[in-house]
Structure 1
Amino acid sequence: MNRSGKFTAVLLCSAILVACGQDTDQELVAPGAGQETVVRAQVPGLSEDYAKLRKQQVASVDYRLSVTLDAERDHFSGQVIADTRLNGKPTQPLTVDFSGGSVDSVRVNDREVPFTYNDYFISIAPEYLRAGENAIAIRYQHPYSTDGSGLHRFRDPEDGNVYMYTDFEPYDANRLFPHFDQPNLKAHYTLDVTAPKDWTIITSVREQKVEEKGDKKLWQFPQSAKFSSYIFSLHAGPFRVWEDETDGIPLRLMARRTLAEYVKPEDWFKFTKQSFEFFQPYFDIDYPFVKYDQVIVPDFNAGAMENVAAVTFNEAYVSRGEKTEAQRMRLANVIAHEMAHMWFGDLVTMNWWDDLWLNESFATYMANLSLARNSEFKNAWENFYLGTKQWAYRADQLPTTHAIQLPVHNTDEAFANFDGITYGKGGSILKQLPYYLGEEKFRLGVSNYLKDLSYSNSTLDDFMGHLGKAADKDLQQWQQQWLYQPGLNTLSAQFQCDNGKVAGLTLIQTGPEEYPTLREQRTQLGFYNLEGGSMVLKEVLPVMYSGASTNVAAAKGLDCPQILNPNEGDWAFVKVNLDSTSVDNMKRHINDIEKPFTRLMLWQNLYDSFYDGKLPLNQYLHFVLENAGTERDINVIRLVARHLGSTFRYLNQVDMNESRREELQLAIETFVWQQLQQSEAGSDAQKTWFGTFTDVAKSDGALANARDLLLGERKLDGLTLDPDRRWDLIYLQNAHLYSDYQQAIDRELARDNSDRAQLKAIASEAVRPLPEAKAKWLQNILEHREDFKLSQLRYAADNLFPASQVTLYDDNAEQIISAIGAVNATASPEYIGTFTDLFPLNCSEAGVQQLTAILEGGEQLNPLMEKSLKNRRYDNQRCVDMGQLLTHASAD
């Protein structure tokens, strides 16, 4: 997440580094006595090779940081003193990371010294440093960020108040202050901040002293614990503050004032306390820091960030209406996820970004375990399957799938690995490890790992070694199969029956051609049979399987199943192919299946058949419309509703007869409207179907219903149109240029001028199928991005070319493609992610070929851009294949 910019070098005379008048575009090279020559290229980001060198140079470091914040200026200033102990007399330059600022002076051991600064890092020649202790003092200035990373500045449009927060992972802490920005150079931090007098300042410790200085206050903080700089924090502003405590730990929750009325602190503190109640005894380590703050911030690029004792959360977790239980559970889950990081990531931190999964996979698993064991949510693992695990399965079937543990050569590559493999697949395989090792042995291994490596850095071998020792098991084979090999295996069951009893049962495991590794893991077989009109789970059989086939001798003699689920209870990370008997009975009895979790898995299995091109879209849709209307489990409803939305979008694109397309889309729209009308008033099902209705409404009748709901001329009992749902209806009007779509935006902004409303207004304008709307926002995104916050550009890019407007994309494709070189060369990863959203689902051979030409054009693409475009090409090709299957099915 590093910030790039136009290269500007500050050239000062230094005999070792750059001679006066030398071309500053050359790399800085310094031969070391008896050492290999080391080069740090003058590029943004940090390479693993250079980080290793600097770890050898720097034995330890602590920082004393002073920052001055001003609400009205476009930049902040500061001084950092890095108390640095060097391993011997340096023979090569020492570089200090600092991206995009300006450097006023550098002093080493109370002596001002020459330096060079290239907009990415400061270089200090070795003759100005000594073996052992050095005090490196740097005075600097830096602009506030508008892209949600570094030190981000936000002005609330409702009351004019200014708020600031930091977001650093993986490589943006150096946008707050110059330092050694790599995870294995942990440090203590001592901070003081001068800021407007009505602001609250938040960091990893509580303030020890606050002094008034005119219209400012000076906040002084004691030295922190030792941790990596990417989890250091500085948040500031006139926050509304709620306070509580648990087990002697002070708790605070903060939000901007205009959002405060919508925050439900009782939920936040409840979920926080439940997480502490679970994690402290599970890890057998008391919470390692002195307080626990949670700060809700605008324009945030992620869901949340585990800054030590000062966690930041996206404002999306605050609803301006009544939350569904699923939304409440998502909040509880993210609170638990970030808290798990306090031990796993903050107390013990990966040595380098190749072990990112050690942080994220573990927090993902532990959050769900915490909810399952100590919360009001009794279907936590069903939600894990519905959300996180499906994300992982999809990511593992993409052409950009990768091993959980993989080389990361630089921080740009690290940024690209925050994905469904690192979070979802890693969390899923950790979920099955306790079944493999035993729950208590797994817990003991984790606890010992954290105790032995507290306040230190670790590697994969450290973690796996502690687990193996606790379980007295060699995990090398497991590690090779699961952590070093990508790809998703498929599991199916073959069984024969005699006289109503199983005569033989074999589990068959396969792998994709490009990733043929077959793995060992535990699963459960669920045997279902009709009994009294219900499809009942009659037997559950735990099995360890491996290799291409596993004979399940224990199944012999059991009642012959009508449905056999090879992954009952979702123990295994594997894709399931049901046998033909089970498929036939599932289709005839899906509503008779007693267990909601099994119905959920079978509905997903059916969608997978469509998604994998085995079941034509029209046949899948017919089954859904025939059977989904009587479902009452909210998780199954959420799954089916989500899949109907996806199917509708595919119908916008696949090559088919236009009258047939309209017929199928109208069938979806009609079904969804019926479910919305028939759902229990105020229920989560009603809220779910409303969200799907705004995704699929297209006919004049549906759009009229949407307009009447917005104007209050039509009401559905129990459905409250909070501000966010109102914007969903306005967006729908604009997407179809229906009725007074522009006036709808103006009316709503007059009653709701919040930042969220303004972003929704941008999305509503960008989605209009008008050439002038596309031209305006495309120009803003490509040519005037400095005039907008990244959040504004993201809302525009996300909505500029939906799948139903591909012809409008085609009209602008040349302009977008021609911008790739400039974006790739100069833009931040955050902006690159926004730019790639301009490429729509383009279900045509031409769309596939267009992306192929870009990817094979010979230009070195940023890892994030390359990954996004490869995935989009894959989606386009899959959509083409779906259309061909539909055409063949219609012909048959």
Structure 2
Amino acid sequence: MPSSSKNNGVPMTKTGKFALGVLCSSILAACSLEPNQLQSTTTAHALAKPAVARSDAPGLSARYAKLRKQQIAQVDYKLSVTIDKSGDAFSGRVVADTQFRRNLLQPLTIDFAVGEVEGVQVDGKSVPFAYNGQFITIEPAHLKGRKHAIAVDYKHAYSNNGSGLHRFVDPVDGEVYMYTDFEPYDANRLFPHFDQPNLKAHYTLDVTAPKDWSVITSVREKNIEKNGEVNHWVFPQSKKFSSYIFSLHAGPFTVWEDDADGIPLRLFARKTLAEYVKPDDWFTFTKQSFEFFQKYFEVDYPFVKYDQVIVPDFNAGAMENVAAVTFNEAYVSRGEKTQAQRMRLANVIAHEMAHMWFGDLVTMNWWDDLWLNESFATYMANLSLAENSEFDNAWENFYQGTKQWAYGSDQLPTTHAIQLPVKNTDEAFANFDGITYGKGGSILKQLPYYLGKEEFRKGVSNYLKDLSYKNSTLNDFMGHLGKAAGKNLDAWQQQWLYQAGLNTIQANFQCDGDKIASLTISQTAPAEYPTLREQRTQVGLYNMEGGKMVLSKAIPVIYKGASTEVTAAKGEACPQIVYPNEGDWAFAKVNLDKVSVANMSKHINDIESPFTRLMMWQSLFDSVTDAKLPLDQYVSFAVSNAGSEENINVIRLVSSHLGTAYAYLNQVAMDDTKRTQLQLAIESFAWQQLQSAPAGSDAQKTWFGTFTGVAHTDKALANAQNLLRGELGIEGLVLDPDMRWNLIALLNRHLYGDYAQAIKSELEKDGSDRSQLNAIAAEAIRPQQEAKTLWLNNLLENRDAFKLAQLKYAASALFPTEQRGLYEANVERIVGALDEVNASDASEFVGTYTRLFPLNCSEQGVKQVSDILDSGKQLNPLLEKALKNRRYKNQQCLNMAAAIGNSAG
């Protein structure tokens, strides 16, 4: 890859001389003017001093983006790109037809990260320029008019880290595939341009590519010209949109086609994955989403066609490129999908489609509104599934997935207001988190209860109609909602969007005989985030009837402040359980009162509603992580009560909690005999549930995943090895390739049996890239210093020899919770690499490095991270955030250990 300090065209030393020459010429010209003309020219030169100087650092600042928006009124791009099968770089030419708001007084910069600039022309004439490896600079003297065609000829290396134009070689058949991924600031790794969301443009693309490839972008091609071994793909001009959602994908894909009420649909996957793709599911979910969104928004789909491209090595789940959405290959299972996996696929399809309207058609002005972009798609995807799909438990999945992510994130030291200033694109990248997606989506979910469902829908529709093809701000969105509902939302915005932190609510009640005498909702807030909020919830009253704990009454109420009396509850039957967020309307953590806790503990399996059981189980585990309920007591309760559970969502939740509990038990300080007993209880329970689950059921697959995460005794490991070899079978359990790798990783994690041969044998049968990545993880997880040394070398010294995906798999596997001793033996080396990593402009690698700091439940573990954070170093936002959260989790684990000790005492 070219050095980031490389300068093409005019060397940096000449650039200074060039600028001086312009200044001298201006002064000489001014000397021949009349006095009043001289004065105005001098003023102009005073204004020419840069108000916002752009630093040579990677990325883009909000301040500079604002200046450039003031410079540029309109821009459109003509882009020609040549890609091939074997090279390490691609070449291109871009012509930016640019209209300026006024004559330039400051240099113009064009974003282009770590490429090679071969020449710059303005209106067909070559001009001097400077290039620092991050952006091209053109002096105002060469842009004297209001309209200019600025052309750049360039080269750029293909990416191997999933950003920019990523190149992938399939290890099975040697075929090459390419795709782009740009958000928030990597579109300039495909072509030089003004890479900020509020400089929307039309794009006219042509591509020269190998003749057997498909080329995919935001529009369908208008012509393919054949020229020997290559084809020249010519595309018509696109609609107007931001460059981070422009795309270029290419390769010899397998393609399936369909139609959604006149909208052409295509689905692409690489050849060696095609046999596992189920296009009927993809197209069904796509059509259902189109049917729902076009009716809900009252705006026709704006981009003519809709392609979905399944790609390898993808860093995210999916990306909403205009009319050419990319999806992680993880959404393709090599075995039979569970219902939960099918729902996740339907959800992500709906999420990315929602962005076609909210994000692509109407786009945030700057990255401070990233949360609204993602939160809205998160909420709308779940609403689409709930109202127009086969999945009748969409909101239960939202609760146990998205909402728990949000609750967890909002209790971390790095929580932040949903709406906050974003100084630069590095901060934007760091803000892809549980607040941006989860909390924002959750508070949007409660808004229709507060405003009215139809009022909310109408506000959204009017917003999209009024601002199509434009940029918008939060105030635009909230203004449209408030107008549709006839409510002023200023106070709501202040409470929910500009204040961080999670509130806790609890119902407190008294009965007079068999009737409620009083019931109040109390609300508290953490000391560091003391805001008390207002929202609408339901209070659920539960009683035993006919052997079942049933909902006898649900009372809607708007609560606010420290205490709210629920007057409608007075006179109702005295409840055995009160749940103050019935139906999950509100965004709040729930504390159960003592009476409800006691009855819930006795009747957890008698609760009629699966959703209520789900919330009760979650409330129990929240008590564990809050160090209120000792971990050992939770484990005993779970293995005693979860065996009779039949609802798959509750099974998934409890099995996940038990896997987490097992990991904590590896770390917390406690009596070793007790630790051994508890871990054996979890292992035995998972194996028992695996064997007794209905053959071929989703529950069986769920318990298989739990078993491979908690098995550790010789007996359990022998069972795992025999399952892998086919010497032991469980009725209905069919091991797909990925499940086999789970077993292989388990054997390597404990150095059991022929663990090394298991990797070799599996790779001989399945040489796919997914298998190769799993093989890396299986090697890295071994409790051997030589394995740790090898992969730390690769991660910290030899990373250029590996794809980012390979490094991610290794980093994630290196230090499981029971290998704390090996982590301690290597932590000095990990910390020693921090300065180099911190200086990196590769955000995805910085995120990979943070995986090398695992849970370390000790005072020393807390101190190790504190020493870094307290050193005074200016840390990359992503790195700083990860370390703060790790310190918090380490301390949380210490608190949990103390709770076990207090319980034993």
Using the size of structure 1 for normalisation, the TM-score is 0.98
Offset at residue 827 of structure 1 (A) = 4.2
Select which of 268, 290, 294 maps to 1:276: 290
Aligned to 2:839, the other structure's residue is in SS state helix
2:62 matched residue in structure 1: 48
* 2:68 aligned partner, one-letter code: R
Select which of 442, 445, 451 maps to 1:431: 445
Question: Is 1:869 matched with 2:867?
Answer: no
Tell me if the contact between 2:4 and 2:132 (Cα under 8 Å) persists in the aligned partners. Answer: no
Aligned to 2:727, the other structure's residue is in SS state coil
1:65 matched residue in structure 2: 79
Offset at residue 31 of structure 1 (A) = 6.7
Once residues 321 and 841 of structure 2 are traced to their aligned partners in structure 1, the CA distance between those partners, rounded to angstroms, is 25
1:265 matched residue in structure 2: 279
Select which of 464, 470, 489 maps to 2:484: 470
* 2:676 aligned partner, one-letter code: E
Aligned to 2:73, the other structure's residue is in SS state strand
Q: Deviations over 1:666-716 (max 9, x none)?
A: 000000100000000000000000000000000000000000000000000
1:537 matched residue in structure 2: 551
Once residues 15 and 808 of structure 1 are traced to their aligned partners in structure 2, the CA distance between those partners, rounded to angstroms, is 51
Once residues 435 and 16 of structure 1 are traced to their aligned partners in structure 2, the CA distance between those partners, rounded to angstroms, is 64
Offset at residue 37 of structure 1 (A) = 2.9
Unmatched tracts of structure 1, length 5 or more? 23-29
Question: Is 1:879 matched with 2:893?
Answer: yes
Q: Deviations over 1:794-813 (max 9, x none)?
A: 00000011111111111111
- 1:434-583 pair list within 5 angstroms: 434-583=448-597
Offset at residue 721 of structure 1 (A) = 0.3
2:621 matched residue in structure 1: 607
Aligned to 1:592, the other structure's residue is in SS state coil
Q: Deviations over 1:40-88 (max 9, x none)?
A: 0000000000000000000000000000001100000000000000111
**Count of residues in correspondence between the two structures:** 882
* 1:244 aligned partner, one-letter code: D
- 1:345-424 pair list within 5 angstroms: 345-424=359-438
Question: Is 1:681 matched with 2:695?
Answer: yes
Question: Is 1:19 matched with 2:17?
Answer: yes
Tell me if the contact between 1:6 and 1:826 (Cα under 8 Å) persists in the aligned partners. Answer: no
Unmatched tracts of structure 2, length 5 or more? 21-43
Q: Deviations over 1:860-879 (max 9, x none)?
A: 00000000000011010111
1:648 matched residue in structure 2: 662
Aligned to 1:729, the other structure's residue is in SS state helix
Once residues 728 and 677 of structure 1 are traced to their aligned partners in structure 2, the CA distance between those partners, rounded to angstroms, is 17
Q: What's the % identity of the aligned pairs?
A: 69
Question: Is 1:227 matched with 2:244?
Answer: no
Tell me if the contact between 2:58 and 2:841 (Cα under 8 Å) persists in the aligned partners. Answer: no
Once residues 383 and 38 of structure 1 are traced to their aligned partners in structure 2, the CA distance between those partners, rounded to angstroms, is 47
Q: Deviations over 1:548-598 (max 9, x none)?
A: 000111110000110001000000000000010000000000100000000
2:6 matched residue in structure 1: 8
* 1:887 aligned partner, one-letter code: G
* 2:135 aligned partner, one-letter code: F
2:88 matched residue in structure 1: 74
Offset at residue 125 of structure 1 (A) = 0.4
1:857 matched residue in structure 2: 871
Offset at residue 426 of structure 1 (A) = 0.2
Tell me if the contact between 1:154 and 1:298 (Cα under 8 Å) persists in the aligned partners. Answer: yes
Question: Is 1:584 matched with 2:598?
Answer: yes
Select which of 191, 194, 198 maps to 2:212: 198
Once residues 632 and 763 of structure 2 are traced to their aligned partners in structure 1, the CA distance between those partners, rounded to angstroms, is 41
Q: Deviations over 1:328-366 (max 9, x none)?
A: 000000000000000000000000000001210000000
Q: Give the direction of change, closer, same or farther, for the CA distance of 1:14–1:413 in structure 2 (3 Å limit).
A: closer
Question: Is 1:836 matched with 2:834?
Answer: no
Once residues 286 and 16 of structure 1 are traced to their aligned partners in structure 2, the CA distance between those partners, rounded to angstroms, is 53
Tell me if the contact between 1:442 and 1:470 (Cα under 8 Å) persists in the aligned partners. Answer: yes
Select which of 637, 650, 665 maps to 2:679: 665
Once residues 102 and 19 of structure 2 are traced to their aligned partners in structure 1, the CA distance between those partners, rounded to angstroms, is 31
2:832 matched residue in structure 1: 818
Q: Give the direction of change, closer, same or farther, for the CA distance of 1:139–1:4 in structure 2 (3 Å limit).
A: closer
Once residues 201 and 485 of structure 1 are traced to their aligned partners in structure 2, the CA distance between those partners, rounded to angstroms, is 45
Q: Which moves more between the two structures, 9-18 or 76-85?
A: 9-18
1:785 matched residue in structure 2: 799
- 1:298-313 pair list within 5 angstroms: 298-313=312-327
Select which of 186, 205, 211 maps to 1:172: 186
Q: Which moves more between the two structures, 227-236 or 826-835?
A: 826-835
Offset at residue 9 of structure 1 (A) = 3.4
* 2:784 aligned partner, one-letter code: L
Tell me if the contact between 2:75 and 2:97 (Cα under 8 Å) persists in the aligned partners. Answer: yes
Q: Which moves more between the two structures, 387-396 or 3-12?
A: 3-12
Tell me if the contact between 1:525 and 1:565 (Cα under 8 Å) persists in the aligned partners. Answer: yes
Q: Give the direction of change, closer, same or farther, for the CA distance of 1:629–1:79 in structure 2 (3 Å limit).
A: same
Q: Deviations over 1:751-808 (max 9, x none)?
A: 0000000000000000000000000000000000100000000000000111111111
Once residues 874 and 236 of structure 2 are traced to their aligned partners in structure 1, the CA distance between those partners, rounded to angstroms, is 46
2:786 matched residue in structure 1: 772
Offset at residue 130 of structure 1 (A) = 2.2
Tell me if the contact between 1:151 and 1:176 (Cα under 8 Å) persists in the aligned partners. Answer: yes
1:106 matched residue in structure 2: 120
Select which of 147, 156, 161 maps to 2:161: 147
Once residues 488 and 266 of structure 1 are traced to their aligned partners in structure 2, the CA distance between those partners, rounded to angstroms, is 41
Q: Which 4+ residue blocks in structure 1 deviate beyond 4 angstroms?
A: 3-6, 13-17
Once residues 146 and 32 of structure 1 are traced to their aligned partners in structure 2, the CA distance between those partners, rounded to angstroms, is 46
Once residues 155 and 604 of structure 1 are traced to their aligned partners in structure 2, the CA distance between those partners, rounded to angstroms, is 43
* 2:607 aligned partner, one-letter code: I
Question: Is 1:207 matched with 2:221?
Answer: yes
Q: Deviations over 1:375-413 (max 9, x none)?
A: 000000000001000000000000000000000000000
Once residues 792 and 13 of structure 2 are traced to their aligned partners in structure 1, the CA distance between those partners, rounded to angstroms, is 48
Tell me if the contact between 1:17 and 1:125 (Cα under 8 Å) persists in the aligned partners. Answer: no
1:249 matched residue in structure 2: 263
* RMSD of aligned alpha carbons: 1.4
* 1:396 aligned partner, one-letter code: D
1:27 matched residue in structure 2: none
1:714 matched residue in structure 2: 728
Tell me if the contact between 1:252 and 1:294 (Cα under 8 Å) persists in the aligned partners. Answer: yes
Once residues 347 and 700 of structure 1 are traced to their aligned partners in structure 2, the CA distance between those partners, rounded to angstroms, is 58
Once residues 18 and 858 of structure 2 are traced to their aligned partners in structure 1, the CA distance between those partners, rounded to angstroms, is 57
